Chains A and B, each alone.
Chain A
Amino acid sequence: MHFADGAIPADYMGYVRRKHLWILGGVVVLFLLLIVSISVGAVSIPPYEVFLSIVNGIVDRVILLLNPGTVLNPSSTDRIVWNIRLPQALAAIVAGIGLSVAGVAMQSILRNPLGSPFTLGISNAGAFGAAVSVIVLGTGQMQSTVADAVVLNNPYVTTLMAFIFCLLATAVILLISRLRGASPEVMVLAGVALSSLFTAGTMFLQYFADDTQLAAVVFWTFGDVGRASWQELGIMAFVTAAASLYFIANRWNYNAIDAGDETAKGLGVSVEAIRDIGMVVAALVSAVIVSFLGVIGFVGLVCPHMVRRLIGDDQRFLIPGSCVMGGILLLASDTVARVIVAPYILPVAVLTAFLGAPVFIYLLLRGYRR
């Protein structure tokens, strides 16, 4: 069959260009927001100095890399930017991207608009893992100062337990779907069941916990992007980048699955394999983020929907768009969380829904735009 005589349609190419501009615009907004986010806080740093400090820091690190042993003498601004605010802002961006891309993939895989790391109980499983670590293994402790009230004796054990339980939840869901055929409904329902199970488990443990442990668990459960060190940030960034690339590489397969399983199969897509692998990748990236930062709700669920409202369901634009939107939403939430009740700093999870929900409802009411 030959259709080679078709022309290149200018209107369609213009349409594609507009979608790309939306995403590019998002990247610019994200970058500006990054500067603003770093500049505000207990010590206010003008945006221009933030920019200089970032450039300086990069140059310093390159010099250090080329001539090990060079003694650097960072200014106090550089210290604030590089030791505190930049890692926190980048953690917000990375976590936002990771949770959002996991959400968009799960919504497609599960054929369900409620798909997100939370729907499947992955986050609750992580919280349960942390509770087991703190209460059963005794890794939690409390201090009396207001800031940093709780210290986790051994944060890595808590992280590791959270991670293990996240993966355990994913394994159970995949196992159930294997036994019953990998239908999206089965996966969603299994996730709902697991979510309740782990929540009940956490409550059970909390009931028998002393107040120190209880505080430690609650503290852990509040997702906070300020927890990440540069090293942890590196791990999260690597996993998030790998997962995002995987989903972008499979954008055509997800588009095909969105058109219906039979259509997808007719188009040469191995639907069950794409579903299973996609679930594992999405679960992995959520598990890494949840175990390092705690439970951050709403981002994974809502960012993809915001992007759907702005640029439609086409995964070619939806996946990168959700990444950008996830970064923007979580970074904006974190920035607000750091200044809204200054000098106290709220964990970002408290604010994601406050900031995201009104925007989301506004977009729902306004409908789609072309």
Chain B
Amino acid sequence: MILDVDGVAFNYRSASVIRDITFDLRPHQVLAILGPNGVGKTTLLKCMNTILRPKAGSVLIEGADLLTADRMEIARKVGYVPQRCEAGRMTVFDAVLLGRRPHIGWDVTEVDIRIVEAAIRMLSLEDLKLRYIDEMSGGELQKVSIARALVQEPRVLLLDEPTSSLDLKNQLEILGIVRQVTTEHNVAAVMTMHDLNMALRYADRFILLKDGVIHAAGGPDVVTPETIEAVYGVPVTVERYNGYRFVVPLEPESA
């Protein structure tokens, strides 16, 4: 197991947000965390790299407990791509280089530069290398953000709604990259998502959250009309086309 989450709970003051979250993940797996707005998807993601400290439970990465590790140590194991990232007057190369922060002593080394260059090539950002990120589109910025998390050389990648503001082409490209990275670099990825069909296309593990607890978890077969209706309160049918599963909402009268 690369990631072991056991009994994680989090609450703001008295209001419980998530509780009893237990799952594990192997290398090469992509996990999609699904559920309606406000159910605690992002909270769960943040608990997994201790941006929010879980009130109970444990998070292990390759057997090492994250809750007793210091922030730098965690940053060398977990890469986090937030929903939005501030774009200052910085070049793409420098913005990605920032991902080496957990590994940098006083200054960057040649190794850091080489790693960043390779990541930039992997995400086809070469032509934009010296562009300022405050002049870039949402899709390009998202790629920079992912490249930054990749050069941390993490074991687990966490992505908070990586496709929420992207067009179709960019969604496919970003999720394709996540898929490719997990296979080529022997890591696991966890993403929160709203688009069920994109999740079904690119993820192989699924967690459906309802009222802060896991309602269903497992492979693609846990995404059924019953679980979707239970979690989202929307009647759907799950169809197959070209080997992919698709969730199609039903008209209320035909439900």
Contacts and interface: CB of A to CB of B under 8 A. Distances in A.
Interface of A: 1-9, 11-13, 15, 249, 252-253, 255-256, 258-260, 262-263, 265-270, 308, 312-314, 316, 368, 370
A78 B202 CA distance: 77
Interface stretch (B9-17, B93-101, B216-224): B93-101
A312 B132 contact: yes
Interface of B: 46, 49, 51, 71-76, 78-82, 84-86, 88-91, 93-95, 98-99, 101-102, 104, 106, 110-111, 113-119, 121-122, 129-130, 132, 145, 148-155, 158, 181, 185-187
A326 B101 CA distance: 28
Contacts of A3: 114-116, 118-119, 122, 150-151, 153
Nearest to B102: A268
A253 B95 CA distance: 13
A256 B80 contact: no
B190 to A, nearest CB: 13
A258 B88 contact: yes
B78 to A, nearest CB: 7
Contacts of A258: 86, 88, 90
> For chain A, what secondary structure do more than half of its interface residues adopt (helix, strand, loop), or is it mixed?
loop
Q: Which one of A8, A249, A263 has the highest number of Cβ atoms from chain B below 10 Å of its Cβ? A: A263
Given A260-B84, A269-B101, A4 B89 contact: no
A151 to B, nearest CB: 48
Given A6-B114, A9-B113, A266 B79 contact: yes
Given A12-B113, A267-B102, A312-B90, 13 more contacts: A3-B115, A4-B111, A8-B113, A9-B93, A13-B113, A15-B130, A256-B98, A258-B90, A259-B88, A267-B99, A267-B148, A270-B71, A316-B94
B98 A267 contact: yes
A4 B94 CA distance: 18
Contact of B149 (A253, A260, A266, A269): A266
B171 to A, nearest CB: 21
Nearest to A5: B118
Nearest to B91: A15
A333 to B, nearest CB: 26
B132 A268 contact: no
A6 B89 CA distance: 25
Contacts of B149: 266
B85 A259 contact: yes
A6 B118 CA distance: 4
Contacts of B113: 6, 8-9, 12-13
